[in-house]
Amino acid sequence: MKVVYFVVAILAVTSSVVSAYDPSPLQDFCVAVKEIDGVFVNGKFCKDPKLVKAEDFFEHVDPANTNNPLGSQVTPVFVDQLPGLNTLGIALARIDFAPKGLNPPHTHPRATEILIVLEGTLYVGFVSSNQDGNRLFTKVLNKGDVFVFPIGLIHFQLNVGYGNAVAIAGLSSQNPGTIIIANALLKATPPISGEVLTKAFQIDQNTLDYLLKQSWYDNN
């Protein structure tokens, strides 16, 4: 009997490890409604299922304007844009690139990303953790090519083609989160102490002052 309990315990542990990153839904849908003032939950409150309609599961995405310092623009379709995604553990983003446009090094704390190129040529990559030696994995992707960026790892996409580029990213969370590395460190509010940043990057105060003066555009 003890062996049976042990097997059940092992199954319980391993099955939770292989499940989706977001918690699994316990009903057909839980269309998000706005937070109740001062009450916060992990996810969003559910709309009355009887009032749910097709529009709750629908969103339209147009090509984005890439006329900005990065030459790229991300259009998220996360739970905040598409309330029907609540509890479903999935989201999407469209990424538009001007020639030489960059989606700068960033991470998604809650999602793995799978990206398909619809148009153009992208140089993409991610870096593994310190424990793995910070190895860089890169690839040049053309129309139809697909690449995966594992959850939490720093990654980027650069348009190396002659024209515009377009990609669609699937993300394994209703609310993946995005942390652009440079912006998070150099545009934090309130600012991170200069002593921390000069030591971390091994730069002097003048170099840090130069960096802090830049625009650090957020393309999300």
Binding-site residue numbers for Mn(2+) are 106, 108, 113, 155
Binding residues: 103, 106, 108, 113, 155
Are 99 and 159 in contact, with CB atoms under 8 Å apart? yes
Are 174 and 89 in contact, with CB atoms under 8 Å apart? yes
The H-or-E segment that residue 4 falls in is helix 2-18
Short-list 181, 205, 207, 175, CA closest to 193: 205
Enumerate the H helices of 62-213 as residue ranges: 181-186, 194-201, 205-213
**The residue to which tokens 């200069």 are assigned:** 194
Residue 74: both structure tokens together:
């991300």
If the CB atoms of residues 56 and 113 are measured against Mn ion, the closer one turns out to be 113
Least distance in Å: CB of 20 to Mn ion?
18
Amino acid identity for residue 76 in this structure: P
Using CB atoms, what's the residue nearest to Mn ion? 113
Q: Distance between the two ends of the chain, CA-based, in angstroms?
A: 54
Distance CA 107, CA 150 (A): 9
Helix-helix angle 194-201:205-213, to 10 degrees: 110
Binding residues for oxalate: 103, 108, 113
Q: Phi, psi (5° rounding) for residue 115?
A: -120, 135
Site string for Mn ion, 113-152 (x = CB under 5 A): x---------------------------------------
Site string for Mn ion, 96-115 (x = CB under 5 A): -----------------x--
Distance CA 83, CA 197 (A): 39
If the CB atoms of residues 22 and 113 are measured against Mn ion, the closer one turns out to be 113
Least distance in Å: CB of 103 to Mn ion?
7
Least distance in Å: CB of 95 to Mn ion?
8
Per CB under 5 A, residues contacting Mn ion are: 113
